[in-house]
Amino acid sequence: MIKTLKIEPLTKEAFAPFGDVIESEGRDYFMINNGSTRRYHKLGDVQLDEQGQGIINIFRADTLEYPLPIKMLERHPFGSQSFIPLFGHEFLLVVAPVGDGSMNIDPSTVRAFRASARQGVNYHRGVWHHPIMALRDGDEFLVVDRSGPGNNCDEFYFDESIQLTVELD
């Protein structure tokens, strides 16, 4: 299979099989702090196993070389992982559904999205995704994910006959 992935705009609906979109645009809110603040409540769920602890990190990432061959995806079986851009730059995502839970990805289910400068994502537990795909060198992301015992990062490498690519337009 040789395929250039179509980069889709990131929307709550389109991304629903993979997790949550963290954004304020078009979302419900309620007022707090004596009316000075909008609370966009529960935009995403932090998912953890019983032994997991939720932690807050910053990832500083450089851009990758495009066209980018998608040789592997990874997943975090014990917890969700969110990426919120701190510098307000767009970034890319490549994902595949949890599937049947086995260490296998149907390449036809792999999708690419472009997050706007005001969107973040929260990958749900076990959702396959490519490591962070910043579009600027030195870009920073607030990352909320899970710390705890066990290996929380499975990597799946596609067979060499599967050539999935992401190109920048």
Residues in contact with ligand UGC by CB under 6 A are 74, 81, 129, 131-132, 153
Classify strands 7-9 and 111-115 as parallel, antiparallel or unpaired.
Answer: parallel
Q: Which is nearer to Ni ion, 23 or 123 (CB)?
A: 123
Q: Which is nearer to ligand UGC, 29 or 66 (CB)?
A: 66
Applying CB under 5 A, which part among 15-23, 24-32, 60-68, 75-83 lies near Ni ion?
75-83
157 close to 105: Cβ distance less than 8 angstroms: no
CB atoms within 10 A of CB 82: 21
Instruction: Give me the DSSP letters along 104-144.
Output: ---GGG-EEEEE-TT-EEEEPTT-EE-S-EESSTTEEEEEE
Label residues 93-112 b or e (16+ Cβ within 10 Å = b): bbbbbeeeeeeebebeebbb
Question: And the tokens for 52?
Answer: 């997991």
Task: Supply the minimum distance, in Å, between the C-beta of residue 36 and ligand UGC.
Answer: 35
Site for Ni ion in 76-115 (CB under 5 A): 81
132 binds, among Ni ion, ligand UGC, none (CB under 5 to 8 A by kind): ligand UGC
Task: Supply the minimum distance, in Å, between the C-beta of residue 155 and Ni ion.
Answer: 10
Task: Supply the minimum distance, in Å, between the C-beta of residue 131 and ligand UGC.
Answer: 4
82 binds, among Ni ion, ligand UGC, none (CB under 5 to 8 A by kind): none
Task: Supply the minimum distance, in Å, between the C-beta of residue 40 and ligand UGC.
Answer: 24
What distance in Å separates the CA atoms of residue 169 and residue 140, rounded to the nearest whole number?
23
Task: Supply the minimum distance, in Å, between the C-beta of residue 114 and ligand UGC.
Answer: 17
- Residues near Ni ion, by CB under 5 A: 81
